[in-house]
Amino acid sequence: MGFIRTHMRFLLGLTVLFIASVSFAEESVEVVAAEGSVTVGDSLGKKTKSVQTKSILPSGNVLTTGPSARAVVRVGDGGYVVVGNNSQVEINKTKSDAGFFRQISGMVYYAFNSIKGSQRRIEVRTSTATIGIRGTRFLVTDIPERKEIGMRKGLVNVASPDGEFELHKKAEQDEFEAYKREAEVAIATNKREFEVYKANTQQEFVEYKREFGLEANRMASFDGKRVVERPLSGETLKDMESFETYAEKWVKEVRD
């Protein structure tokens, strides 16, 4: 009987070890693809070291890519982060917290599974806004000449960390469709009628609010507290497609 009890305790120990290992694997932050100079360091930018494919990243560390570098990071079983060149993002993930990302600079594409029921939503924090997501795909650009959020799929909530946004929402159709219609009107009518049409299609609604929702195929551009919401620009769409092509193998796994 003593031998049996000892053997059972040994098997139970192995089972617990196996479950713990699976749990760690599900919650880990892993680099699944990397090219060029990709490093990770603490939040102060110190103690940096190079990372490669299959590297496990400590939570709370900052991932940095060089001028010709990019990387794809799997964040537990939640989804993927695709980091462009010259970018920095802090990834925070724990077993008890859905986690958040602090995007310091550059361009980062986020693709996350839908969050169900009482699961806590994930946040992306930038210098201008806090973005709450429950399963979506979007691109955040934070470089001197461009500070914007571009939506590919889903819906996000964009909140100001301090004060209200001055939100300018353009009441125009898809930019390409609007362009075609303007061309048709310009050909078919006189200048006065065209100017009336142009004024109507380019009308803006201005609101002052602490937060707002951003839907698929829309984008928000930031200039301090002034925010312009409009259809995706050709430049932003092209950037999204580049990220999606690079990370296609992993992004197609996302259940949004």
Predicted local distance difference test score (pLDDT) of residue 243: 98
- Please give the Cα distance from 120 to 50 (Å, whole number): 32
Predicted local distance difference test score (pLDDT) of residue 214: 95
pLDDT per residue of the chain (256 residues) written in tens, 0 to 9: 554 454 444 333 433 332 222 333 345 889 999 999 999 998 766 788 999 999 999 888 999 999 999 999 999 888 999 999 999 999 886 554 457 899 999 999 999 998 776 666 789 999 999 999 878 999 999 999 999 999 999 999 999 999 999 999 876 554 555 555 556 656 666 666 666 655 555 566 789 999 999 999 999 999 999 999 999 999 999 999 999 999 999 999 998 7
User: Rounded to two decimals, what is the model's pTM?
Assistant: 0.77
Question: Domains along the chain?
Answer: 2-164+210-251 (2.60.120.1440)
Token readout for 232 is 């995706």
Predicted local distance difference test score (pLDDT) of residue 246: 97
